[in-house]
Amino acid sequence: MYGVCGCCGALRPRYKRLVDNIFPEDPEDGLVKTNMEKLTFYALSAPEKLDRIGAYLSERLIRDVGRHRYGYVCIAMEALDQLLMACHCQSINLFVESFLKMVAKLLESEKPNLQILGTNSFVKFANIEEDTPSYHRSYDFFVSRFSEMCHSSHDDLEIKTKIRMSGIKGLQGVVRKTVNDELQANIWDPQHMDKIVPSLLFNLQHVEEAESRSPSPLQAPEKEKESPAELAERCLRELLGRAAFGNIKNAIKPVLIHLDNHSLWEPKVFAIRCFKIIMYSIQPQHSHLVIQQLLGHLDANSRSAATVRAGIVEVLSEAAVIAATGSVGPTVLEMFNTLLRQLRLSIDYALTGSYDGAVSLGTKIIKEHEERMFQEAVIKTVGSFASTLPTYQRSEVILFIMSKVPRPSLHQAVDTGRTGENRNRLTQIMLLKSLLQVSTGFQCNNMMSALPSNFLDRLLSTALMEDAEIRLFVLEILISFIDRHGNRHKFSTISTLSDISVLKLKVDKCSRQDTVFMKKHSQQLYRHIYLSCKEETNVQKHYEALYGLLALISIELANEEVVVDLIRLVLAVQDVAQVNEENLPVYNRCALYALGAAYLNLISQLTTVPAFCQHIHEVIETRKKEAPYMLPEDVFVERPRLSQNLDGVVIELLFRQSKISEVLGGSGYNLDRLCLPYIPQLTDEDRLSKRRSIGETISLQVEVESRNSPEKEERVPAEEITYETLKKAIVDSVAVEEQERERRRQVVEKFQKAPFEEIAAHCGARASLLQSKLNQIFEITIRPPPSPSGTITAAYGQPQNHSIPVYEMKFPDLCVY
């Protein structure tokens, strides 16, 4: 029967006749529009026939493709597109299956034109919102085929570009069709993302631009891009913009793998561009997920080349700055912890020369300069990310970094590597560099919050170390914290200006919180400044930092009491240079003289006491004429002009404490405090600053004068106290403490568990013992003195003192008043 119908056109089903009528005799004439309108009306009137119409069109298209009748293929696809646009009935799902079958047939063709035709039809279909859901439709083939088209390597450049753009458009269509439909196959599964994302990145990395373009979506033009790279970027933005919280990981992981496989971390330009696109495209509340992915990838590549790790850190820096403007969530300390851990690993790699801690055959040798470059990248990232954080989070980061700095200790183990450098020293330097980056630009109105006691104690204990570089970092960190008005750069050069108004200093009144801070920590700060001035290894940068620190304390935290103490401190520093008990070099002594002159010149003009200013000015003028080597203009230059003999400095060249006390005391300052010379309070930290090594024996000769024979100048032999003696004393004291603790435990246990009668008997025995001891004491105390008349003999031949009442005793005349 079907064969008869096929031969006789009048007996064929109507939908077939309507489909046949849309095809002209000559394919160049195109679709017959009137007949197409009839077919569309029929499909709308009888929607149950729509699936048969689609099946018949599919049959004709497959036949035409096989016969290379590409004109009729185009007409069939145009008809399918119009039917899809017009029909939204419940039966469209069966029609769509036929449509997708025809699109797949075109995409399988080797003809570029047919591939492009099928892609365009699929894109039109993707833009249609279906009224009825589909439960069994699959797009796996289309994802694979479009991804393959994105990597086209056709010989003709123009055709290659068209195929790649079609592939990108096809992937964009798949995303639009499936990303928001929960009933479709999950496009966010790794099996799909591992194809879509690398295909887009492959086209994105082949862009050739004369200048970099901002990846902000606000600057993207509305018109369609002509370049595959621009189209891929737009598709990637759309994909990431639709990503939900649980899908971010699957979307970011292929990006990291692609950058690894194509070695794109080392130039790092493309990697940074990719993650800028990602960070600007995803929702702000998802930013911390991207940061976590990057941190995990950095840990996974901890044994990769330093250039690769440096590239990841640079990308992390850019991404973190963008994320901080939105929400970084709980990843703040996690990020810093990872970076500091990588910093420590890099130091170990640089010292040992390998990733395994030992150099052997087949071990990859590490280039130390590359590790240094990676360490600088980590420090830069720490600073750039911290600068975007709010004050409270920044304070937490500062405390966190400080807790990682190895504490200086007399018994600190010295770990040396291939270069013979101290591992702890390098770690301290790198972490202090990071801390300096974080503290730069830090603004906090309350110094008690900015410099809490535990933080300040650890920081200042580090300032007592022998290493000059570490001490300089500590001074710069303190300056960063104290400078809240941007005055630090105005004190970068030490000078004796006759008028400091040219500096345009921003001076604010000392707040109550600052006053409390200085009352609590001022002596601690002064002590460390004083001890830092006495270091032999100081260079010009150290004195510039000390001058800046003194100046900023005077501007930011000073009241009358602080000003007085600072003046006393600087005069004590002048005494250090004059007396020279530390045997400092000539340059250091001249530098201390110059430092004192510069600071007293500054503080005299800040206090605006005329007599004080006059005295300082007179001394400076005298030095200019007779001793220019005691002024900063001759000392802190490239070639210092120094004096070979600083002994016997005349008093006219010195700032006199008596004179300063007199002029300031007359202006209301505390005269008694001004007259007292500054003496630093030595603490355990200062004793630690002696910095003796572990193997060095500390020999102390202790001589004790004998008090038993005051008429003889006898001395006990000197006792030599060594490290072993001290160690034994500590061990013995620990043993005594353990015994005492055990005795107390036994007593408590006895009173808790022993019967009442036993406890009462024990207490009664102790009471009777106490009473007997008291009786003895009373007897000795109350017994009258012996009689001056002599003694009498008692029984058993024992002589016995004869006691008489006190009022009957006869005293010498000298005792009578």
Of the candidates 79, 105, 83, 103, the one whose C-alpha atom is nearest the C-alpha of residue 92 is: 83
- Confidence (pLDDT) at 740: 79
Range of the domain at 617: 483-507+556-686
Phi, psi for residue 246 in degrees, rounded to 5: -80, -5
Domain stop point among 624, 654, 686? 686
Q: How many domains are contained in the chain?
A: 2
Tell me the mean pLDDT in the region 167-184: 80
CA distances from 475 to 378, 399, 435 (A): 22, 17, 12
Q: Let me know if residue 78 belongs to a domain.
A: yes
Tell whether the model's pLDDT for residue 712 goes beyond 60.
Answer: no
534 inside domain: no
Q: Is the pLDDT of residue 272 over 90?
A: yes
Cα torsion through 738, 744, 745, 746, rounded to 10: 110
Strand partners, 705: 715
Above 90 in pLDDT, residue 474?
A: yes
Q: Is 115 a domain residue?
A: yes
Q: How far apart are CA 718 and CA 704, in angstroms?
A: 8
pLDDT in tens, 319-330: 888 876 655 556
Region 602-610 average pLDDT: 90
What pLDDT score does 619 carry? 93
pLDDT in tens, 479-532: 999 988 888 899 988 999 888 888 888 888 888 888 889 999 999 999 999 999
Note whether residue 586 is domain-resident: yes
pLDDT grade for 747, boundaries at 50, 70 and 90: confident
pLDDT score recorded for residue 698: 31
In a domain, 602, yes or no: yes
- Residue 695 inside a domain? The answer is no
> Which amino acid, one-letter code, is at 804?
I
Residue 71 lies in a domain: yes
Query: Does the pLDDT at position 578 exceed 60?
Result: yes
Which residue's structure tokens are 């080392």? 266
Mean pLDDT of the residues in the chain? 79
Residues 6+ apart with CB under 8 A from 165: 228, 231
657 vs 669: CA distance, rounded Å: 14
Query: What would the DSSP string read from start to end of 743-784?
Result: HHHHHHHHHHHS-HHHHHHHHHHHHHHHHHHHHHHHHHHHSP
Domain boundary among 632, 661, 686: 686
More confident residue, 354 or 130: 354
Say if 582 falls within a structural domain. yes
Q: Is the pLDDT of residue 211 over 60?
A: no
Query: C-alpha distances in angstroms, 216 versus 231, 273, 276, 381, 751?
Result: 15, 11, 8, 22, 78
Residues 146 and 119: beta-carbon distance below 8 Å: yes
Backbone angles phi, psi at 631, to 5 degrees: -120, 150
Domain boundary among 656, 686, 716: 686
For residue 795, what pLDDT band results from cuts at 50, 70 and 90? Answer: very low
